[in-house]
Amino acid sequence: MTKIIILPGDGIGPEVTREAVACLDLLSDHFDLGFRFEEHPFGGAAIDACGDPLPESTLKACRNADAIFLGAVGGPKWDRAEKRPEAGLLGLRSALGLFANLRPARVIEGLEDLSPLKAKVAAGADVLVVRELTGGLYFGARTDEGEVATDLCTYSREEVERIAHVAFREAGRRGGKVTSVDKANVLATSKLWRRVVEDVAAQYPDVALDHMYVDAAAMALVAAPGRFDVILTENLFGDILSDQLSVIGGSIGLLGSASRGEDGPMMFEPIHGSAPDIAGLDIANPAGAIASAAMLLELGLGLPEQAAMLNNALEQVLVDGVRTADLGGDARCSGFGAQVRERLEARLARHKAMIE
């Protein structure tokens, strides 16, 4: 039995989660993987249910899981809550030690027209953002005295080292290039970041390293996304750059992510938020959630064959021209999910015929 904790969360979270979990369920049935899905309250939904965005029972279930799947949290209803849904998300990442967040984005061949960039600029872009997830401004001390407020940014050598190792290892398996993004012309944490990344790079002679300031990186990402392979960066810069990167392939609704710690279960979530402006309308793009489910199979459970089948079915749906509203179409969230499962079932039937 493989226990997968499902945290649908708020807004479009439950809508996109439903489609992704149905894909996992299909694969579990076919390959007899014994997935057991256990849903827990999280985020705004948990505030409503029990006054806490990260209830103790949810955290305990996550600690004991084989993998965790999250939809999205937050929304205007809870923006003035004492402890916001987003605090629950940060609390969960921190409690599980999920320091490394992998956010891959790719312009699919033949689908360059989905990009708001010129096709010749977008073509071939294939970037992995390795975002530090449990340090920096997100987790520093804060003060707010009414007219003056402070957020403290701290990084230690150890924190930078471990995320740098993740980036270099990933680059070794992909394009062999790390671009470390910082603001070392101003920030002390960035100066440390750059020194430590240089030190770690010495252990990976086959991986090329360059450094960019975050402002220049934001510019280069839209001017020449093809120049990047792995972007290694701190928590806040990674948050911002990955939203920007997502649109290069067409929409924020396309990107999935995986978060890992030193050990323990990994967590998988689309990079987008709860999208309150379209929640409840069944028009969200579930592709990022489905891509996250494929990452869960590959990285969380060590099932690369099943992950490839799901990714392949997802890509086929896009290649076949099925488009949700974010990509200019009128496909429903549920309809897009059903189309992915239809393509997946066809692949599973072929697989079955092959082994019989």
Give φ, ψ of 102 to 5 degrees: -105, 125
Picked from ligand NAD, ligand IPM, Mn ion, none, the partner binding residue 212 (CB below 5 to 8 A depending on kind) is none
Task: Give the shortest CB-239-to-Mn ion separation in angstroms.
Answer: 4
Interface mask toward Mn ion for 187-226; x: CB under 5 A: ----------------------------------------
- Could you tell me if 168 and 197 are in contact, meaning their C-beta atoms sit under 8 angstroms apart? no
Q: Under rule CB under 5 A, which residues in 220-249 are in contact with Mn ion?
A: 239
Is 294 a binder of ligand NAD (CB under 6 A)? no
135 binds ligand NAD (CB under 6 A): no
Nearest to 171 by CA among 135, 197, 192: 197
CB 262 within 8 Å of CB 290: no
Residues from 303 through 342 that contact ligand NAD (CB under 6 A): 326
Q: Is 10 a catalytic residue?
A: no
Give 285 or 339: the residue with its C-beta nearer to ligand NAD. Answer: 285
In degrees rounded to 5, what are phi and psi of residue 73? -130, 160
Task: Tokens 């072929």: give the residue.
Answer: 350
Q: Find, among 125, 121, 127, the residue nearest to 108 by Cα.
A: 125
Q: How far apart are CA 204 and CA 208, in angstroms?
A: 8
Q: Which of 46, 117, 271, 348 binds ligand IPM (CB under 6 A)?
A: 271
- Residue closer to ligand IPM by CB (options 90, 220) is 90
Could you write out the DSSP letters of every residue in 68-135? EEEEE---GGGTT-SS-HHHHHHHHHHHTT--EEEEEEE--TT-GGGSSS-HHHHTT-EEEEEEE-SS
Contact positions vs Mn ion (CB under 5 A) = 239
Contact positions vs ligand IPM (CB under 6 A) = 74, 86, 89-90, 239, 271, 273
Contact positions vs ligand NAD (CB under 6 A) = 12, 16, 72-75, 86, 89, 252-253, 269, 272-278, 284-285, 288, 326
